[in-house]
């Protein structure tokens, strides 16, 4: 007797394969679309986070130093004292700048502030008496007769360094009278602090990088090194003063790249901040 076996297993038909492939393409397409949307959302959130962080870091730095305005600095005849910064006739000095992107008709402002920002630069190595026109300090190399010449002695009075010999400073306590150096108005003990009055300026600078316009908030200590970058993509800075209160409104940060789903400002998202600062050492004549 002859035995025979019959294969009852059936394969996929061409139609079934085509249907399965079509379904697979639909699933893959949906997954890819979801991934692209999620990636775009992540990139947008990353841009917003970076923009916000830049804006807040810039505001924190500015408000911290603006709050020191007037500390240890002369409170009158500033142009006679601070002659290395042009037009420094008030403290703070606020003036219109040349750059700013958020409003072409209202340019960003520049602010100059004078204070003993770094605390004590040296101490008196010997006592000084009323009427003296020289000081012995612990480190004469910290001073010069150009940009580090306005000093505050013992938190009591200001003087201008007119000459330096080692650790001995020749000083004038009244630069408005050019005939002779005026002497100290107070007595000081060895160890009393001597600080240097600096002028710090904040401004927005417009530059071109790889055919792209870039706005950067820069900080200048006015010591010869020029303006140094503080925060990128800060596109507007508006500052006003009322009495002894300084208002920043706004400081505007901008995203580094445009968002195709954002219709305003050519697709660039912005972040505005506002601050009111009342420096405790600011004196209004």
Q: Is residue 83 part of a domain?
A: no
Give the domain-ending residue among 163, 180, 196: 196
Give the domain-ending residue among 143, 172, 196: 196
Looking at the fold, whether 167 and 222 belong to one and the same domain comes out as: no
Q: Is residue 259 part of a domain?
A: yes
Range of the domain at 207: 45-71+200-277
Looking at the fold, whether 152 and 206 belong to one and the same domain comes out as: no
Q: What mean pLDDT do residues 176-196 have?
A: 92
Phi then psi dihedrals of residue 109, to 5 deg = -95, 160
Q: Is residue 82 part of a domain?
A: no
Share of the chain above pLDDT 70, in %: 90
Q: Is residue 53 part of a domain?
A: yes
Give the domain-ending residue among 196, 216, 243: 196
Statement: the pTM of the whole predicted model exceeds 0.85: no
Where is 32: in which H helix or E strand?
helix 14-66
Residue 6: per-residue pLDDT: 55
Residue 182 CA to residue 180 CA, distance in Å, equals 6
- Give the strands of the sheet with 234-242, arranged side by side: 234-242, 245-254, 270-277
Q: Could you give the number of structural domains in the chain? A: 2
Q: Is the pLDDT of residue 7 over 60?
A: no
Q: Is residue 157 part of a domain?
A: yes
Across the chain, mean pLDDT equals 88
pLDDT tens digit sequence for 218-272: 999 999 999 999 999 999 999 999 999 999 999 999 998 888 888 888 889 999 9
Where is 45: in which H helix or E strand?
helix 14-66
Looking at the fold, whether 184 and 232 belong to one and the same domain comes out as: no
pLDDT tens digit sequence for 16-68: 778 878 888 888 877 777 777 777 776 778 888 899 999 999 999 999 999 99
């Amino acid at each position: 007797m002859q035995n025979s076996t019959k294969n009852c297993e059936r394969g996929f038909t061409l139609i079934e394969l085509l249907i399965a492939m079509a379904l697979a393409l639909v699933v893959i397409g949906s997954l890819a679309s979801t991934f692209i949307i999620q990636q775009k959302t992540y990139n947008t959130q990353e841009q917003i986070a970076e923009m916000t962080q830049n804006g807040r870091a810039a505001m924190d730095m500015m408000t911290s130093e603006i709050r020191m305005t007037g500390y240890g600095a002369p409170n009158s005849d500033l142009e006679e004292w601070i002659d290395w910064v042009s037009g420094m006739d008030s403290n703070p000095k606020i003036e219109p700048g040349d750059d700013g992107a958020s409003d072409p008709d209202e340019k960003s402002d520049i602010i100059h502030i004078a204070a003993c920002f770094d605390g004590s630069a040296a101490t008196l190595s010997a006592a000084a008496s009323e009427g003296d026109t020289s000081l012995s300090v612990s480190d004469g190399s910290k001073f010069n007769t150009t940009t580090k010449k306005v000093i505050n002695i013992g938190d009591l009075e200001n003087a201008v360094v007119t000459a330096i010999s080692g650790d001995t400073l020749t000083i004038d306590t009244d630069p408005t009278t050019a005939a002779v150096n005026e002497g100290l108005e107070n007595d000081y003990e060895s160890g009393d602090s001597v600080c240097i009055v600096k002028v710090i300026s904040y401004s927005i600078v417009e530059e071109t990088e790889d055919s792209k316009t870039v706005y950067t908030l820069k900080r200048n200590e006015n010591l010869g090194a020029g303006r140094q970058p503080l925060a990128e993509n800060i596109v507007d800075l508006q500052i006003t003063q009322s009495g002894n209160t300084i208002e920043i409104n706004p400081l505007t940060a901008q995203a580094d790249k445009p968002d195709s789903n954002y219709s305003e400002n050519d697709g660039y998202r912005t972040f505005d901040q506002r601050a009111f600062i009342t420096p405790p050492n600011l004196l209004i004549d």
